[in-house]
Amino acid sequence: MSPFNTFCSDTLQGFKPSIGHYRGWALGALWVFPLAQAWATEPISIISPAVVTEPAKVALGKKLFFEPRLSQSGIISCNSCHNLATSGTDNLPTSIGHNWQKGPINSPTVFNASYNLAQFWDGRAKDLQAQAGGPIEADKEMASSHSVAVATLSSIPQYQQEFVAVYGKGAINMDKITDAIASFEQTLVTPNSPFDLWLQGDKSQLSAQQLKGYQTFKQVGCTACHNGPAVGANSYQKMGLVQPYQTENPSLGRYSVTGKEQDKHVFKVPTLRNIEHTAPYFHDGAVWDLSQAVEIMAQVQLGQTLTPEQTQDIVAFLHSLTGERPQIVLPALPPSPFDPLHVKR
């Protein structure tokens, strides 16, 4: 194991050194040591590009992610509320689902969701696979059922073949469906943001204002919750910790999972990665303006009133968290030999 890996084993998973890389080691070692040490002292760490080890499973999962026949109506897919053409979300306060029903809570982005300590705002699903089955049978979302979803996919010959190719013989089931979707979602990471490149030593990536904003972000205490590779997503916190947060949204957060009084209005801290793209903000999707979101957070979570300059500096810093989106080639979904939704009627 190289000294490089000693320092960066978590964030460089899947790092594949090229021949050129080894050639550069003699010189590279001179700057890698100080860099790795500096990096280790920052509360935010980089996101690494996805490493695909099972491309057939990921390809199947991508099809299922875009598969509207998983919904009762045949028009709603994972991509409806977690639109990969926008920001992995739908940019609505709350989503519009089956029969035009409004969802109860803001759709979080699927980009970098593999870094979440658990899924959904209240963390009721332990991982991406556990999450993927939820919307399929939620009345206000896809409004189908697991048995119908399995029957629908099983009625499509090409899916039959693809599931066998990926999972071996045996019937299609929800475990396989959600495993494939989760495998695809694990590839939806956005590395190489200006801030990541800055963390790795390219100091030209942040402007003076962004650097000042980052210092303010740390000094006022934002990093207490917004830290790690996802700049959040690794803890739960009460919304309105210091001052009450006013909202008409009835969600009770972790309380719905634990039943504990102290978990009322406790939500998973959202990622700040690509935050300029994921408006509107908060679990109620009430705020569109990023400056206003920063001011409110400082107020209700930290009891601090930011100056306009501090706010704008932090916003400038937050823009440096926009990473490279994975290139998504739209899958070609297989045809149905007959009405694929017949099993529901």
Residue numbers annotated as active site: 141
| Nearer to a second copy among residue 42 and residue 276 (C-beta) | 276
Q: Which stretch binds a second copy (CB under 8 A): 30-38, 63-71, 175-183, 224-232?
A: 63-71
Among 56, 211, 224, 333, binds a second copy (CB under 8 A): 333
Q: Does 111 bind a second copy (CB under 8 A)?
A: no
Q: Does 151 bind a second copy (CB under 8 A)?
A: no
Q: Does 289 bind a second copy (CB under 8 A)?
A: yes
| Nearer to a second copy among residue 73 and residue 200 (C-beta) | 73
HSE-CB for 239 with a 13 A CA cutoff: 25
Range 187-206, binding a second copy (CB under 8 A): none
- Please give the angle made by the CA atoms of 52, 56 and 62, to the nearest 5 degrees: 80
To the question of whether residue 82 is assigned a binding role by annotation, the answer is yes
Token duo for residue 184 = 């695809």
Nearest to 70 by CA among 162, 157, 11, 135: 135
Q: Does 139 bind a second copy (CB under 8 A)?
A: no
Token duo for residue 284 = 């109620």
Q: Does 52 bind a second copy (CB under 8 A)?
A: no
Q: Does 80 bind a second copy (CB under 8 A)?
A: yes
| Nearer to a second copy among residue 91 and residue 247 (C-beta) | 91
| Nearer to a second copy among residue 87 and residue 311 (C-beta) | 87
C-alpha pair distances (Å), 36 with each of 21, 46, 324:
16, 12, 22
Nearest to 278 by CA among 230, 216, 206: 230
Among 277, 304, 312, 344, binds a second copy (CB under 8 A): 277
Q: Does 174 bind a second copy (CB under 8 A)?
A: no
Name 146's Cβ contacts closer than 8 Å, sequence gap at least 6: 133, 136, 137, 174
Peptide bond connecting 280 to the previous residue in cis, omega within 30 degrees of 0:
yes
Distance CA 57, CA 55 (A): 5
Q: Which stretch binds a second copy (CB under 8 A): 196-204, 233-241, 293-301, 332-340?
A: 332-340
Name 107's Cβ contacts closer than 8 Å, sequence gap at least 6: 81, 82, 89, 90, 92, 94, 95
Q: Interface residues with a second copy (CB under 8 A)?
A: 66, 68-69, 73-75, 80, 83-87, 90-92, 95-96, 99-100, 276-277, 279-280, 288-289, 325, 327-333, 335-336, 338-340
